[in-house]
Amino acid sequence: MEFNKENMPKHIAIIMDGNRRWARAQGKPASFGHKAGAKTLEKIVRYANKIGLEYITVYAFSTENWKRTTEEVTALMNLFQSYLDDYSKRADSENIKVKIIGNRQGLSEKMQKSIEKCMERTKDNTGIVFNIALNYGGRDEILGAVKNIAKKIQNNEVKIEDITEQMISDNLYTANQPDPDLLIRTSGELRLSNFLPWQLAYTEFLFVDKNWPDFNEKDLDDAIEVYKSRNRKFGAK
């Protein structure tokens, strides 16, 4: 499908929900669904890059996901590890710039090295910026921004009266990126789950009943068409 670039969203955020439900429906373990979801993700990012989307941010693993069973968390971490190690080569060949956002200190040393390697390999690519939210929590992100600004005040680098919304944005993981124009959440759930609360202030929301592994390129096309039909007012009447 050809899109009018003037009406295209620049940045789409996705809550990839429904991997476990999809697996259970087939009598399979959660890990089966997560692997299928990873394949869907790569397909969607490749397509988004093809049609000229500039940024895509996906919710891969939240700070709350550590509460899941040890078995599932271990399987997820192993999947992320192998995905990053393997995907960096393909992302580089497809001109995709990968950025991992979230609290890396909570991740293993091996995972942190894989993150650095992937980001370093793709840092000069000029295609879509692919943000993967890993060990990410929106409130934790805002708290970190507040602490960074507080340190600057303490060091007499800025004054309290100098604090603006832009300064807070500049201290978030997504600094220097536009806020998402469209949020897509799959599986029919109607909540944000602590995902990008600051950045989504004026974002258009679209909730899709499909589980993430079943989401495809046509679904993304349809989501963009819905976005284009909406009248974004940004608080104005």
Catalytic positions are 17, 65
Please give the Cα distance from 33 to 50 (Å, whole number).
26
Tokens of 166: 């832009």
Contact residues for 182 (Cβ-Cβ < 8 A; gap 6+): 9, 11, 12, 13, 203, 204, 205, 206, 223, 224, 227
Tokens of 222: 């349809």
Tokens of 29: 């373990």
Please give the Cα distance from 44 to 160 (Å, whole number).
43
Q: Which helix (H) or strand (E) holds 67?
A: none
Q: Which helix (H) or strand (E) holds 29?
A: none
**Helix ranges (DSSP H) in the chain:** 19-25, 30-50, 70-93, 109-122, 138-154, 165-170, 217-229
